[in-house]
Amino acid sequence: MAKAKELKVTLLKSKYGRLKSHRACITGLGLRKIRHTVTVIDTPENRGMINRISYLVSVEEA
């Protein structure tokens, strides 16, 4: 079975003062504080959360 593609997501800006739905996306991805990096599986659900908060995060292939 092929290994699932993964993405490294890093929070670059603060989550405070953002929309409640955007803060929920940050939490859903597992990000906690500025410059915290997590590795997530590349699924449509995760891509949707990343697209919604694209102005707060940087993304690269893991």
User: How many C-beta atoms surround the C-beta of residue 60 within 10 A?
Assistant: 9
Q: How high is the pLDDT of residue 1? A: 66
Write down the domain spans for the chain: 6-61
6-61 classified as CATH 3.40.50.2300: no
| Cα 40 to Cα 14, 17, 18, 55, distances in angstroms | 20, 25, 22, 18
Share of the chain above pLDDT 90, in %: 92
Percent of the chain that is helix, strand, coil (3-state, to 5): 30, 25, 45
The reported pLDDT for the residue numbered 40 is: 97
Residue of 62 and 33 predicted with greater confidence: 33
Strand extents, DSSP E, the chain: 6-11, 37-41, 57-61
d(CA 59, CA 10): 7
Give the predicted TM-score (pTM) of the model: 0.91
pLDDT, tens only, 42-55: 999 999 999 999 99
